[in-house]
Structure 1
C-alpha cells in the first residue's frame, strides 16, 4: 500500500444512507462476478435491501476509503445488541452458552469489507479493516465469511481472526458462512 495515499471518511447510519449512490457503485465495482452469477442473494437490488436494513441498526458505523478523492472501498458494521438476532442460525460451535450472550458493548459485527476490483491486492481491505475496528470500544469482533472464499479467508487469518463455527443468516437465499472472531 506504500504507493497509495488513502484517506478515510466515517459515516453513521444517516450519513451512510445519504451515501447510497457511492455504496451501490462500490458494490457493483467489487462484486461483478457474484452479481453476474445470477445468485439471488448477490443481486444489487437484494444487496441494497440488506443495506437499508443494516443502516437501521443502532450505532451502525461505516468507513469509506478514498484515493485521490475517488471512493475505492468501504467497510461497515455495528455493535451486537442484547437480545439481537445475529447469532440466530448458529449451526456449529462448542464455545458454551455464554458465547452468544450480548450486552450491546461486547461484540462488534464486521458486516462488510469491499474494494473495487481495480484496487484489489494493494492493502486497501486491510487498511479499511484496521480503520473501522481501530476506533471500536467493544471487547471482540465477529464476521461471517464464505468457507469457499479462499482469498478473504486467508486475509482474515493473517489479520488475527479465528473460526469458531458456522451460521446461516435468516435472509432469503442466504448461504452458510463460517463465523470468525477476534479480540479488539
Structure 2
C-alpha cells in the first residue's frame, strides 16, 4: 500500500473523517502491537538524479507493488499507475533541491531489493507552486516558504504492513524516511497534501507524526478536496 500524498486524488481510497477538523483515531493495532525492532531492518540511503534515472523502472515497479490492492498480482491498472508515477517523478526531479531516499533490504542470497521510497523538494516563496499548494497554505507558512524552510514530501511508497503495524515506533520505515528527508534540511517544516477521501493515508500520516493545522490557521476551506498536513522534527 502506498502513502501517496498530493498527486493521486482520482485514485484515493474511499473514506472520510466524520467531523471536520477532528482527526480519526489512530488504528488500534498500532497501539496494541508493540513488537521489537527487526533484527535486520532496511537500509536507507539517497539516490542521485542519475541513479534515479537508472532505477526508474525499478521505482515504478515498487509503486505498483505498494499501491496494488492485491500484492503479487499485477494488472493493466497497476501498469498505468506505474507509468504515471514515473512521469510525475521525472517532472519532480527537475525541481531545485529534489531529494529521493530508498530503503533496501538484504535477501538471503545477499542481493538487495527496494522495499520503500520517499522523495520531496523545498517549496520556495516565489513559484512555481507545487500542485496548487499555495491554495492551502496559511499566511504563516507562506513566510516559512519565503525563508526557504518549507519542504514538500511528494510521495512515500511503503508496504501495507508499514501503514498498519508499529506506526508510532521510531524504526517504522515510513518514519525513518520522512525524518531523514527533513533532517537533511535543518529547521525545515514538512508539508504534504492528502485527498480528503483517503482515510487510510490520513490515519497513517497522523500516526507517523503529521498533524492538521487548527481551524483558525488553515489556508483552505474545510470543503477543499485535499487536506494540508505538516510535520516538524522534534
Task: Identify, as 1 or 2, the structure richer in strand.
Answer: 1
Count of residues paired in the alignment: 173
Match of 1:71 in 2: 114
Contact 1:13 1:56 in 2 (8 A): no
SS in 2 for 1:43: helix
Match of 2:41 in 1: 5
Match of 1:137 among 186, 207, 211: 186
Distance (Å, rounded) in 2 between the aligned partners of 1:166 and 1:140? 16
More moved, 127-136 vs 76-85: 127-136
More moved, 155-164 vs 142-151: 155-164
User: In the TM superposition, what is the alpha-carbon distance from 1:166 to its structure 2 partner?
Assistant: 7.5
Match of 1:99 among 137, 141, 144: 141
Distance (Å, rounded) in 2 between the aligned partners of 1:73 and 1:154? 19
The answer for unaligned runs of 5 or more in structure 2 is 1-35, 107-111, 166-171
Change (3 A) 1:11 1:27: same
Match of 1:43 in 2: 81
Larger of the two Rg values belongs to structure: 2
Distance (Å, rounded) in 2 between the aligned partners of 1:66 and 1:121? 20
Distance (Å, rounded) in 2 between the aligned partners of 1:126 and 1:24? 22
Superposed CA deviations along residues 32-58 of structure 1, whole A, max 9, x for unmatched, are: 24996969xx72222221111011111
Superposed CA deviations along residues 49-80 of structure 1, whole A, max 9, x for unmatched, are: 11110111111111100111221000000111
User: In the TM superposition, what is the alpha-carbon distance from 1:26 to its structure 2 partner?
Assistant: 0.7
Q: Which has the higher contact order (CA 8 A, sep 6+)?
A: 2
Match of 1:25 in 2: 61
Match of 1:88 in 2: 132
Alignment of 1:115-126 (within 5 A): 115-117=158-160, 121=164, 123-126=172-175
Normalising by structure 2, we get a TM-score of 0.62
Change (3 A) 1:127 1:92: closer
Distance (Å, rounded) in 1 between the aligned partners of 2:101 and 2:63? 14
Match of 1:55 in 2: 93
Contact 2:191 2:230 in 1 (8 A): yes
Distance (Å, rounded) in 2 between the aligned partners of 1:6 and 1:135? 19
- Residue 162 (1) aligns with residue 211 (2): yes
Say what the alpha-carbon RMSD is for the aligned residues. Answer: 3.2
Distance (Å, rounded) in 1 between the aligned partners of 2:55 and 2:149? 28
Normalising by structure 1, we get a TM-score of 0.76
